[in-house]
Amino acid sequence: FLDGQGLYSPDDDVVILTVHNFNKEVMRSPQAWLVEFYNSWCGFCQRFAPSWKALATDVKGWSDLVRVAALDCSVDENAGLCRELEIMAYPTLRYFHENYQPGPQTLGVVVQKGDDVVSHRHFLIQRLVAEQTEGRGTMYPNLLPYIHSDISHLFDSTPVGTQYAFLIIEKPDTYLGAEVALDLHKTPSIVVRHTFSNNTGLLNNYAIGRLPTVMSVDRSNNYQLLASSGSRQEIKTVIANFLQNKHLRVTDESPKQEIFTGKWLDVEVPDMSSLIQERARQALKERIKLMGDVVFQMDLETALRYSLKHEIATVKMITGEKLQVLRDYLNILRKYFPFGRGGQLFLTELAMKASTEQVQGSDLAEVIRRAEQEDSQVFSSPQQWLACRGSSPSYRGYPCGLWKLFHYLTVNSAERNINNNRANPLEILDVMHGYVKNFFGCHDCSQHFQEMAAKREMRNVSSLDSSVLWLWMAHNEVNKRLSGDQTEDPEYPKYQFPLKERCPLCRNNNNTWNLVEVLRYLKHAYSNINVRYIGSD
Ligand code: FAD
């Protein structure tokens, strides 16, 4: 039941970073690093991963200059590092230049996210050009546009053995020249430069009409307009053919790396203990399914632990609106979370920390670390998912647990304040809104939720029962949007909650909702007395 497998595997070209190798790899490195900080449970990160892998493969030939990497902030042991690096939204892309020095300001530079491999590559090149403008990135080929109107400066500052220069003339805001220069940077005896069509002097001097154009130039300034063509690959082929005629060869292959997989046995010996564990898991899964819409203490505690450790204590310094939201969050947890005495004392200690003008995430992390020690009697269960466990580690887990936690809180606030006319109907929803806005690591989800709160007039909710129903309705709206999405766990397809067979009365004959019955069902499913411990039926 252990989670924590990330979205990337050693078979991908993405370098997997962790707290253990981050400093060793990234700090004082001869290469630059482009690192994605992500959360394996975040749907946006899951949708992002294929294009990130594609980028790593696409620019594999540049890996002696810049490495494409990823670090999973949802893994417990990486949380402190993500806090130090002030990663507040997922995924976040940061560029760490070559020879990056460790120190208090080792945050790297944020790089814009693209939608696909092409836009990722363009944003990376924008960063590399900025690096060279700022005087770094000297290991890269010259990526700054050639500014002269004649070709006589193409060999300036090139190594003595450079025999040919290739000048790519292209439209502004295109990246072909830089891409080809990077792709061919290992080819000895050539230099690739680019200029844009707004270098009108050069265009006029050499009668260049079509774009992009590739021009070859030798040391004696003899030049030739090579066949112009559009794509990165086509231009490389043009250059390769030219060089072949001169008995030279393009070198764009990365040196082959032998990856040791550890598989030297021809026969796979089944691990009996893992087979037995797998059977036990299947049996437990079936049992949980049969139990229906019940809430497990283990899921609530695991969600709470994750939220405190990975979303709150990862903020370096909590102040202002965030601090107020934290206080309110701890306040409702102290009122309604199904904790014993140890847990109550733990929440009180956190609340005391949060009562000062500002609180450091690391101070909270220390309180949590002590609470997680075996003899502390705060948590009743190991940090594992039960009903929120997905069919693979990247499915379900934390977002499932967070929904359940807030449904549980709305229902328990309604139950406990049944005779309290003065209770605030937004007691839980306001905190959830603040939490999702300020701490929830899935940036996309947070945006959607805030938009939905505005569109569906969350602030007009006028009773605690309506707040239970508002959250149910909001969650169903998200379920509808995500039904069939690639982030959906195939074993747990999204549906409109509750299922008809679980609550036949919840739907009217015309398939509209019977809200009185839905409320009754929610109050039962998320009631305090129905919280199950593993082993209890
Ligand atoms: P979940 O939707 O997480 O549901 C968990 C459990 O809650 C279910 O198993 C069921 O028992 C119960 N449940 C389901 N529906 C209801 C309901 N209507 N009322 C009461 N109980 C219910 N992912 C995105 O990709 N894009 C988003 O914009 C997005 N927004 C999110 C906003 C929030 C506030 C949260 C907490 C998560 C968001 N997610 C989003 C994640 C997404 O909603 C799911 O949590 C995730 O895909 C895991 O799905 P799941 O199958 O575990 O079921």
pLDDT of residue 271: 52
**Same-domain status, 379 and 236:** no
Cα 42 to middle of ligand 1, angstroms: 11
User: What would the pLDDT profile of 468-488 be if each residue is shown by its tens digit?
Assistant: 999 999 999 999 999 999 999
Cα 102 to middle of ligand 1, angstroms: 39
Q: Which residue would you say has higher pLDDT here, 256 or 62?
A: 62
Residue 121 is part of a domain; what is its CATH number?
Answer: 3.40.30.10
pLDDT of residue 105: 66
Paired residues of 195 in beta bridges: 169
**Same-domain status, 397 and 508:** yes
Query: Quick one: tokens of 352?
Result: 């005391």
Q: Is residue 254 part of a domain?
A: no
Q: Is the pLDDT score of 102 beyond 90?
A: no
Looking at the CA of residue 493, tell me the nearest atom of ligand 1. Answer: 51
Cα 496 to middle of ligand 1, angstroms: 11
**Same-domain status, 229 and 309:** no
Lowest average pLDDT, out of 219-223, 279-283, 309-313, 435-439, goes to 279-283
4 — pLDDT class (breaks 50, 70, 90): very low
Q: Whose CA is nearest to atom 53 of ligand 1?
A: 400
Q: Is residue 441 part of a domain?
A: yes
Q: Is residue 140 part of a domain?
A: no
How close are the terminal C-alpha atoms of the chain, in Å?
A: 20
Q: Is residue 138 part of a domain?
A: no
| Ligand 1, residues at Cβ distance < 6 Å | 43, 293, 388, 396, 399-400, 402-404, 407, 436, 444-445, 448-449, 472, 475-476, 478-479, 482, 487, 489, 492, 497
Show which of 133, 166, 185 is a domain's final residue: 133
pLDDT of residue 228: 67
**Same-domain status, 418 and 481:** yes
User: What would the pLDDT profile of 141-178 be if each residue is shown by its tens digit?
Assistant: 999 999 999 999 999 888 878 899 999 999 998 999 99
Cα 234 to middle of ligand 1, angstroms: 46
- Mean pLDDT, rounded, for 396-406: 97
Q: Is residue 274 part of a domain?
A: no
**Same-domain status, 400 and 469:** yes
Cα 284 to middle of ligand 1, angstroms: 22
Identify the sign of the CA torsion 83, 87, 93, 97: negative
**Same-domain status, 207 and 341:** no
Q: Is residue 300 part of a domain?
A: yes
CB-based contacts of 277, cutoff 8 Å, min separation 6:
none
How far apart CA 84 and CA 263 sit, in angstroms, is 37
**Same-domain status, 317 and 406:** yes
pLDDT of residue 5: 62
Q: Is residue 374 part of a domain?
A: yes
**Same-domain status, 35 and 163:** no
Q: Whose CA is nearest to atom 1 of ligand 1?
A: 400
Show which of 106, 133, 160 is a domain's final residue: 133
Q: Is the pLDDT score of 433 beyond 50?
A: yes
**Same-domain status, 222 and 369:** no
Regarding an ipTM greater than 0.95, the answer is yes
87 — pLDDT class (breaks 50, 70, 90): very high
Domain assignment of residue 39, given as a range: 15-133
Q: Whose CA is nearest to atom 19 of ligand 1?
A: 472
**Same-domain status, 326 and 382:** yes
274 — pLDDT class (breaks 50, 70, 90): low
Question: For a pLDDT cut of 70, what percent of the chain falls above it?
Answer: 92
Using most ligand atoms within 8 A of CB, pick from 329, 403, 439 the residue to mutate for ligand 1: 403
Angle CA 516–517–520, to nearest 5: 90
Residue 446 is part of a domain; what is its CATH number?
Answer: 1.20.120.310
pLDDT of residue 252: 59
pLDDT of residue 332: 98
Q: Give the distance from CA 109 to its chain's centroid.
A: 16
**Same-domain status, 128 and 156:** no
- Under 8 Å between Cβ of 217 and 165: yes
**Same-domain status, 286 and 422:** yes
- Mean pLDDT, rounded, for 249-264: 44
277 — pLDDT class (breaks 50, 70, 90): low
Show which of 65, 99, 133 is a domain's final residue: 133
Q: Is residue 265 part of a domain?
A: no
Q: Is the pLDDT score of 224 beyond 90?
A: yes
> What is the number of domains present in the chain?
3
User: What would the pLDDT profile of 281-330 be if each residue is shown by its tens digit?
Assistant: 777 777 787 778 989 999 999 999 999 999 999 999 999 999 999 999 99
pLDDT of residue 337: 96
